[in-house]
Amino acid sequence: MKKSGQIANWIVVSLVVTVLAACASDQENTDSDSNDNGETDTTDTDGEWHPAYPVDNFEDGDDAIMEQTGDWITYADEENGASISPADDITQGVQSDGANGSNYAMHITGDIGSGASWGTGLEAFFEMDGDQFVPRDFASMGNEGLSVWAKGNCKLRACVNMRELVPIEYGGTCDEETNDECWLFHCNETDDQLTEEWTLFEMPFSGFEQAGGSTALDLSTIVSIQFTQDSETCGENTFDIWIDNVGVYGGDEWVDVWDGIENPADAGADE
């Protein structure tokens, strides 16, 4: 998916994110030994991964999310020197030694480019019907936040994309002629850089902010989840990030999705 049309908007995002970075600190940083979030845990008492909605644990090695209705993609501001690997073949990023003892995780590396660059991103979209995004409704099922294990050398920024903020030409409903908030997705980021140790981050939706806009986050119309890298999160210009066990937690469980996973044992391969 080409996203070159968003360059100007991403520059705006980057500038405003810089301003907001100091106060965007609502994410919780826990690990498997000190998780005290009680019922919002995305792991049960056996350490098994079981969020309300499983985006992906990468154990099946493919380029699709676990629901098998959408895919992972990456993108980069190539015009300003940014690059990301994997690029065309996402499965090349699915590599050994995942989080919490699992077999596989997603490993992305690259360069965020020059100072003018809006950077790079790894995105999971839930479903496409032709060229139209089909959203997932997390208003009651998965309504608390995004959970992800990560390690690496940048801050971790997660964004959720509402269909209303995706431009029409990309299958959303945001009219760039009349709405200057297209592309201004809601994001949350860690206070600190990732480390070499796998760490569980639970990022509550209440901490996701739309930099530069005033559109409220509507959890009923989420079309994709992204992890983005730019000069704000990766000051040193290169990144090396692993992510695993991406899920949406809180509220009721997506029973149909869990039931549809071909080998549920793979979903819990983290013990």
Q: Which is nearer to Ca ion, 5 or 61 (CB)?
A: 61
Closest to 109 in 3D by CA, of 131, 84, 134, 133: 84
How far apart (Å, rounded) are the C-alpha atoms in residues 254 and 241?
A: 28
Q: Which is nearer to Ca ion, 232 or 244 (CB)?
A: 244
Closest to 10 in 3D by CA, of 178, 174, 230: 230
**Which position among 26, 28, 48, 62 is part of the footprint of Ca ion (CB under 5 A)?**
62
Output the six-digit token pair for 70: 């959408």
Q: Report if residue 213 touches Ca ion, rule: CB under 5 A.
A: no
One DSSP character per residue, 4-50 reads GGGHHHHHHHHHHHHHHTTT----EEE-TTT---GGG-SB-TT--B-
Q: Which is nearer to Ca ion, 58 or 183 (CB)?
A: 58
One DSSP character per residue, 63-120 reads SB-TTSSSBEEEEE-GGGT-EEES-S-GGGGEEES-GGG-SEEEEEEEE--STT---E
Q: Which is nearer to Ca ion, 101 or 235 (CB)?
A: 101
Span from 33-41, 49-57, 73-81, 162-170 in contact with Ca ion (CB under 5 A): 49-57
**Which position among 10, 17, 41, 56 is part of the footprint of Ca ion (CB under 5 A)?**
56
Q: Which is nearer to Ca ion, 104 or 125 (CB)?
A: 104
Q: Which is nearer to Ca ion, 121 or 172 (CB)?
A: 121
Q: Report if residue 58 touches Ca ion, rule: CB under 5 A.
A: yes
Q: Which is nearer to Ca ion, 57 or 190 (CB)?
A: 57
Q: Which of residues 81-110 bind Ca ion (CB under 5 A)?
A: 98, 102, 104
> Which residues are registered as beta bridge partners of 225?
124, 160
When computed from its CA atoms, the radius of gyration of the chain, rounded to whole angstroms, is 17
Report how far apart, in Å, the C-alpha atoms of 157 and of each of 60, 67, 175, 190, 235 are. Answer: 25, 23, 26, 7, 13
Span from 26-34, 48-56, 153-161, 176-184 in contact with Ca ion (CB under 5 A): 48-56
Q: What's the closest the beta carbon of residue 102 comes to Ca ion, in angstroms?
A: 3
Interaction pattern, residues 222-251, with Ca ion; x per rule: CB under 5 A: ----------------------x-------
Output the six-digit token pair for 216: 């409220």
The residue number with the shortest CB distance to Ca ion is 98
**Which position among 57, 188, 226, 229 is part of the footprint of Ca ion (CB under 5 A)?**
57
Q: What's the closest the beta carbon of residue 96 comes to Ca ion, in angstroms?
A: 10
Give the interface size with Ca ion as a residue count (CB under 5 A).
8
Closest to 10 in 3D by CA, of 205, 237, 226: 226
At position 139, the amino acid (one-letter code) is A
Q: What's the closest the beta carbon of residue 40 comes to Ca ion, in angstroms?
A: 21
Query: Is the distance from CB of 208 to CB of 202 less than 8 angstroms?
Result: no
Site residues (vs Ca ion, CB under 5 A): 56-58, 62, 98, 102, 104, 244
